[in-house]
Amino acid sequence: MNNNPQQLQGVGLAVRGLHKSFDGQEILKGVNLEVQPGEIFVIMGPSGSGKSVLLKHLIGLESPDAGEILINGESITTPEIAAKYRMALVFQSGALLNSLTVGENVGLYLTEHRLRPPAEIAEIVVEKLTDVGLKDAVDKMPAELSGGMKKRAAIARALVIEPQLILYDEPTSELDPVSAVVIGNEILHLNRRIHVTSLVVSHDRDLAFGVADRIAVIIDGQIVTVGTPDQVKNYHDPRVQEFLHADFKREK
């Protein structure tokens, strides 16, 4: 595989005026975003605000009613783009196949497309599992892994294509706080080591403030603010503050 850091450089991503309605109801109301190459960009917002719908547009699972998505300035609807840039999605569930070992899961894409001889695939699998601290799990079955280990295996599987853009969908959902920190550190580590552009969709406030270079807050289909964690923390909009500081109210 290509280990030249120059060629592993992350890509830039731009979303311009994205609109999407379902059954007459407008879900995305003109979303604009600019993600810089190599940046860790977190999109956070309350449940139902349109995060997953936005993510589905970025990977081509949904097409916009209006607006465009650009990678390094090129529209993702052009046919060549899929071949030109490598994007990986880390699914919320991990989505490992239960009948295969962890190593087989990680190497599946290369094996299925016969991209490398088996011995080389085995080497790559160990390399990617080592990247996420799971080298010893290569021969384990997914059922033997904890939730956090499954997420890390899913990241290793994404790394196999040497992505220039990694999209993480709720990477810490269903994890305890310590495992969530491990995943957050993994996102940071990979971003710094291979300079991959990382886009994280999450409502985990600790994760967002822990890893983001910049954060966008989406509420009701619109980006309300974009900025560094400090800028977002101090953004005086009642909806943003309510989302950031929602807490339990116990009677004293």
Ligand X SMILES: Nc1ncnc2c1ncn2[C@@H]1O[C@H](COP(=O)(O)OP(=O)(O)OP(=O)(O)O)[C@@H](O)[C@H]1O
Site residues (vs ligand X, CB under 6 A): 22-23, 27, 45, 47-53, 203
What, of Mg ion, ligand X, none, does residue 4 touch, CB below 5 to 8 Å by kind?
none
Q: Pick the closest to residue 211 from 238, 232, 239, 183 (CA basis).
A: 183
Which is closer to Mg ion, CB of 9 or CB of 52? 52
Q: Which residues of 126-141 are buried (b: 16+ CB within 10 A; e: fewer)?
A: bbbbebbebeebbeee
What, of Mg ion, ligand X, none, does residue 58 touch, CB below 5 to 8 Å by kind?
none
Which is closer to ligand X, CB of 104 or CB of 170? 170
Q: Which span (21-29, 44-52, 102-110, 113-121) binds Mg ion, by CB under 5 A?
A: 44-52
Q: Does 93 bind Mg ion (CB under 5 A)?
A: no
Taking the mean position of all CA atoms in its chain, how far away is CA 31? 18
Q: Does 36 bind Mg ion (CB under 5 A)?
A: no
What, of ligand X, Mg ion, none, does residue 50 touch, CB below 5 to 8 Å by kind?
ligand X
Q: Does 222 bind Mg ion (CB under 5 A)?
A: no
- Smallest gap from Cβ 228 to ligand X, in A, equals 22
Residue number with the shortest CB distance to Mg ion?
A: 52
Q: Which two tokens stand for residue 18?
A: 């994205």
Contact in structure between 100 and 108 (CB atoms under 8 Å): yes
- Smallest gap from Cβ 223 to ligand X, in A, equals 12
Type of residue numbered 248: F
What burial class does residue 119 get, using C-beta atoms within 10 Å of its C-beta: 0-12 exposed, 13-18 middle, 19+ buried?
A: exposed
9, 32, 36, 52: residue in contact with Mg ion (rule CB under 5 A): 52
Which is closer to ligand X, CB of 23 or CB of 247? 23
**Which residues have CB under 8 Å from 16's CB, separation 6+?**
32, 67, 68, 69, 70
- Smallest gap from Cβ 55 to Mg ion, in A, equals 8
246 bridge partner residues: none
Which is closer to ligand X, CB of 46 or CB of 229? 46
Which is closer to ligand X, CB of 51 or CB of 151? 51
- Smallest gap from Cβ 66 to ligand X, in A, equals 17
What, of ligand X, Mg ion, none, does residue 202 touch, CB below 5 to 8 Å by kind?
none
**Dihedral angle of Cα 16, 50, 159, 161, to the nearest 10 degrees:** -50
Dist CA 143 CA 150 (whole Å): 9
Number of residues in contact with Mg ion under rule CB under 5 A: 2
Dist CA 15 CA 221 (whole Å): 13
Q: Which residues contribute to the site for Mg ion (CB under 5 A)?
A: 51-52
